[in-house]
Amino acid sequence: MAFSGNNNLIVAKDFDNLANAYGLKGEYDRAIAYFEKALDINSVVFGNKHPSIATYLNILGFLWQAKGDYDRAITYFEKCKEVVVSFFEPQHPYRIATIQNLSNAANTRGMEFFQKQQYVEALPYFQKALDNAEATEDWAFSLMCLNNIGGSHKRLSHYAEGLAALEKGIARAQELDQKLGKPEHVTRLRRMRYHSAGCLAGLGRKQEADALYQQLLKEARQTNDTRLLEDLKNDGVKG
């Protein structure tokens, strides 16, 4: 079959080369424009469900991420995910990498809201990050997501929801460390226990909260965890 004009794959390759050149120079807007042109041609030639389409969607996701527009990056990573799951088995490296890209972008966007104390807005992004991390069995990254979910709920006074997420994370971290035979996730585990203490206090379980706060204070001093020491000080924990 012959193609001409914008449907010509040779033209698409030229757009691809220009996009790569601009991308290397950090001119992301121009790179995006040319990759979009190449994507349009490839979509006409191959249809929207083809590995080559996934490649362009993935690249565009990274470019929007480089520009700091995580919502657009997430949109492209989600489109890429739709393509790769129809072509590659669950354990295929490209499928896993694509879903992890989505998970990372969603968590980063959630953190942008979190840092602005917009916890309601942050939560759906943290949940999206968690769902995709669990889909690829990226258990270590899922701990970060569960900690962020628990911390957000705590700040919203959703103590039961926060505690549920944190307890899930704590159990998972302990299981991972047991399998590894070493305390690989001890810092993350300590953060989740800290947020759990806040949720316990919020639920009126003062004795449990106080005991956990005191244990955390002891550990923070022993390990010189300055961040935790400052947080405990701000919470009024004495010992």
Q: What is the pLDDT of residues 81-91, one digit of tens each?
A: 999 999 899 99
Region 109-128: what's the mean pLDDT?
Answer: 98
**Mean confidence (pLDDT) of the chain:** 94
Amino acid 15: pLDDT = 92
Lookup result for tokens 């989505």 = 102
What pTM was computed for the model?
A: 0.92
Q: What is the pLDDT of residues 129-179, one digit of tens each?
A: 999 999 999 999 999 999 999 999 999 999 999 999 999 999 999 999 999
103 pLDDT above the threshold of 50: yes
Amino acid 199: pLDDT = 98
Among 143, 212, 131, smallest CA distance to 176 is for 143
Amino acid 5: pLDDT = 44
**Pair 51, 83: CB distance under 8 Å:** yes
Grouping H, G, I as helix, E, B as strand and the rest as coil, residue 182 is coil
Cβ-count burial 214-236 (b if 16+ within 10 Å, e if not): eebbeebeeeebeebbebbeeee
Q: pLDDT tier at 7 (50, 70, 90 boundaries)?
A: low
Q: What is the pLDDT of residues 177-219, one digit of tens each?
A: 999 999 999 999 999 999 999 999 999 999 999 999 999 999 9
Q: What is the pLDDT of residues 40-72, one digit of tens each?
A: 999 988 888 899 999 999 999 999 999 999 999
Percent helix, strand and coil across the chain, each to the nearest 5: 80, 0, 20
Give the number of C-alpha atoms closer than 13 A to the C-alpha of residue 177, restricted to the C-beta side.
Answer: 15
Domains of the chain, CATH where assigned? 138-239 (1.25.40.10)
